[in-house]
Amino acid sequence: MTVERLKDFDGKNESLPLLLAIDRRVYDVSTKRDVYGPGGGYETFSGRDSTRNFALYSTESKDDGSCIDDLEEKDFQMLAEWRKWFDDHYPLVAVITEKLCEDDDSPEHTARRGFAIPANAAAKQQKAFHAPRPRQLPSMDL
């Protein structure tokens, strides 16, 4: 999935799933439209890559985007915690396959992020998401 395509899933069209991305991972947050949909407290995250927002623990639109090379170690730790939380609570439905930062696939960039999915690996993973699989039901313990 591309960041441009992700914009279609911002919740304004209720017939489409509500998606957000964090660290290349695209999650279906449709079960929480009241939170992530239009008018919700976290609507700013939907239909976009919100990696930087989560790393900085910010809802400010100035913090949108995925380039996080300028952040501190504590911000990377915060991002890792959010990614784990989303992994545990929402279905992973796609990955962002395009290059998001100028040096996205450099060894330094990947090592700094540690847990990040580089663009070349994301393209391979995208194919796996399109393989037939049983429908994943949302957890009832949210």
The per-residue pLDDT for 113 is 55
CB atoms within 10 A of CB 60: 10
Which top CATH class is 3-129? alpha beta
* Tens digits of residue pLDDT in 78-104: 999 999 999 999 999 999 888 766 655
What is the predicted pLDDT for the residue at 112?
52
The pLDDT of residue 141 is: 47
- Residue 62: the pLDDT is 66
pLDDT in tens, 113-142: 555 554 444 454 445 444 444 455 444 444
Q: Give the pLDDT of residue 10.
A: 96
Whole-angstrom distance, CA of residue 65 vs CA of residue 42 = 15
Q: What CA–CA distance (Å, rounded) separates 63 from 50?
A: 8
The pLDDT, as a whole number, for residue 104 is: 56
Cβ count near 128 (within 10 Å): 9
pTM comes to 0.72
**Residue 99 vs residues 68, 127, 134: alpha-carbon distances, Å:** 13, 17, 30
Structure confidence by residue, pLDDT tens digits, 42-63: 999 999 999 988 988 888 776 6
Q: Give, as one character, the DSSP assignment of residue 126.
A: H
- By mean pLDDT, which of 28-37, 73-82, 117-126 is the weakest? 117-126
